Amino acid sequence: MPVTHNSDVSVAILGAGALGSVIGAALAEAGRPVALWTRNLAHAQAIRDQGLRVDRGGETRRVRIDAGPVGSSAAQPDLIILLTKTQDSAAAMESIAPHIARGAFVLTLQNGIGNAERILPFCPADQLLTGTTMTNGLMVAAGHVSTQGAGEAVFKAMSPAGEARAAEFEIDVPGFALRHSGHALEAIWTKAALNCAMNAAAGLTGARVGQLTSVPGMRETLSAVAAEVVAVAAAQGITVAQAEVEAKIDYATANHTYHKSSMLQDVEAGKPTEIESLCGEVTRQAEGLGLATPLNAAFAALIRLKTAPATGAETEGANDA
């Protein structure tokens, strides 16, 4: 059943961690119906106990917001925003099957390539929206996130029927704007080019976003990694402007100074990273297209090594005869 007014759209954030909590908080503060769903029960409990703490631009807010496990809120959401890491998409989507059956739309704003394709087995194309965002979130502690810079996102629908209803899901509240766009696919690849470069570099070095270009050679390295992604998109008829990627890298380094890239947050937490839907996916697609992406291949291999389980070789004396 179509929603009659955008402000009535009831939203659930599926996988409310760093970014999902920031977006959910913006909606809650604007008085929109929103629930945070997460398997991180310590985070949900802290939010229920004390409200969600959001640090932004030197200000701290406590936001009262519904938080709990998947499906815990009473209301059936109209829109479910998927914000788990990409490797968790399938399990998360399986858990919302009853809501999809009742007509909820699903929007992925995850980083990486192939997100819509990954979740299509779990959601009819007519109910699937795909997009990207420059909003950022840092998980400081359970119940506590921080964010820097402007919160914007664009999306498109995955079918003509979905496109016809897309305007219903646009959002414009302080701290978060979500716009329907005819160029969402290009925007997804633009963001992926940025993330292949910045997230892997941060994950490898531990640098915050504002530090990433602080030494000679790094800004050029980010551009070169991103240029490989732009070439893979172009070979598939998706026109990404390198200048736009450069502008977004500059925006992030200037405005997300304190932010730890989502991949660095995973590396530090000892969790799996999204490298396979970023540099790994770009490298696999390039191989299929007869292109070479040596920098993405190297970043992918290095992140795999950095996050690989211990082999025992790191123990002193392990290699002694």
Ligand X SMILES: NC(=O)C1=CN([C@@H]2O[C@H](COP(=O)(O)OP(=O)(O)OC[C@H]3O[C@@H](n4cnc5c(N)ncnc54)[C@H](OP(=O)(O)O)[C@@H]3O)[C@@H](O)[C@H]2O)C=CC1
Ligand Y SMILES: CC(C)(CO)C(=O)C(=O)O
Binding footprint of ligand Y on the chain (CB under 6 A): 111, 136, 194-195, 198-199, 209, 252, 256, 259, 261-262
39 binds ligand X (CB under 6 A): yes
CA distance linking residue 261 with residue 255, whole number of Å:
13
62 binds ligand X (CB under 6 A): no
Among 9, 10, 20, 280, binds ligand X (CB under 6 A): 20
Give the strand order in the sheet containing 176-180.
66-68, 34-37, 11-14, 79-82, 105-108, 128-133, 152-157, 176-180, 171-173
Closest approach of ligand X to the CB of residue 290, in Å: 28
Query: And the tokens for 103?
Result: 């007509």
Nearest residue to ligand X, by Cβ distance, number only:
17
Q: Tell me which stretch binds ligand X (CB under 6 A): 1-9, 51-59, 134-142, 164-172.
A: 134-142
CA distance linking residue 309 with residue 304, whole number of Å:
10
Among 13, 15, 66, 127, binds ligand X (CB under 6 A): 15
> How many CB atoms neighbour CB 320 within 10 A?
5
Non-local CB neighbours of 61 within 8 Å, separated by 6+ positions: 25, 29, 53, 54
Three-class SS state of 108: strand
Burial class from Cβ neighbours inside 10 Å (0-12, 13-18, 19+) for residue 310 reads exposed
How many residues form the binding site for ligand X (CB under 6 A)? 27
Residues in contact with ligand X, shown as a per-residue x/- string from 244 to 263 under the rule CB under 6 A: ------------------x-
23 binds ligand X (CB under 6 A): no
Residue 198 binding result from ligand Y, ligand X, none, given CB thresholds of 5 to 8 Å by partner type: ligand Y
Among 23, 36, 79, 92, binds ligand X (CB under 6 A): 92
Three-class SS state of 272: coil
Query: And the tokens for 222?
Result: 């980010």
200: left (phi over 0), alpha (psi -120 to 50) or beta: alpha
As beta bridge partners, residue 133 has: 153
Closest approach of ligand X to the CB of residue 60, in Å: 18
91 binds ligand X (CB under 6 A): yes
Q: Tell me which stretch binds ligand X (CB under 6 A): 17-25, 71-79, 175-183, 291-299.
A: 17-25
Which residues of this protein are in contact with ligand X, per CB under 6 A?
15, 17-20, 37-40, 70, 83-86, 88, 91-92, 95, 110-111, 133, 136-137, 139, 262, 265, 274
